[in-house]
Amino acid sequence: MSNLLKIPLPGYPRANPRGGITWKGDYFGNNNYLAGGDKLYASDLGMVGIEDAHFSFLGIGSNSTYQYKALPPTGSANSNETYAPVYSSITVQAYTAANSTEVANNTNMSTVGARLTVNGI
């Protein structure tokens, strides 16, 4: 389990009417961010796999200085697949909202929250 702070909203995770599970809540990063991002595992959210993940309001954090982006694992695209892949983890990267450059190593992101929605199985 990762040491990222994930606070689900009341009633989440819950069954998605279209099938699968939806997790929605507030995401906070680590107190020592490392370039390249943090891994967020499906198992941390009570899922087997992640189908879709996104941050609300462009991922702008609670202090308006930083922004989060949810990315699939590197090298996960495969044009030969019939269906879109389901991921066991995603990478969450942090950027400065003003110029979209990745946050420097050891930046404390533990007080920067943003609303995250994840759909999975």
Whether the Cβ atoms of residue 89 and residue 42 lie closer than 8 Å to each other: yes
Q: What is the pLDDT of residues 68-110, one digit of tens each?
A: 999 988 755 555 656 667 899 999 999 998 898 999 999 999 9
Q: Percent of the chain, pLDDT > 90?
A: 69
Query: Could you read off the pLDDT of 55-71 as tens digits, one per residue?
Result: 998 888 888 899 999 99
pLDDT of residue 1: 37
State pLDDT tens for residues 45-54.
999 999 999 9
Instruction: Report DSSP state, residue 9.
Output: P
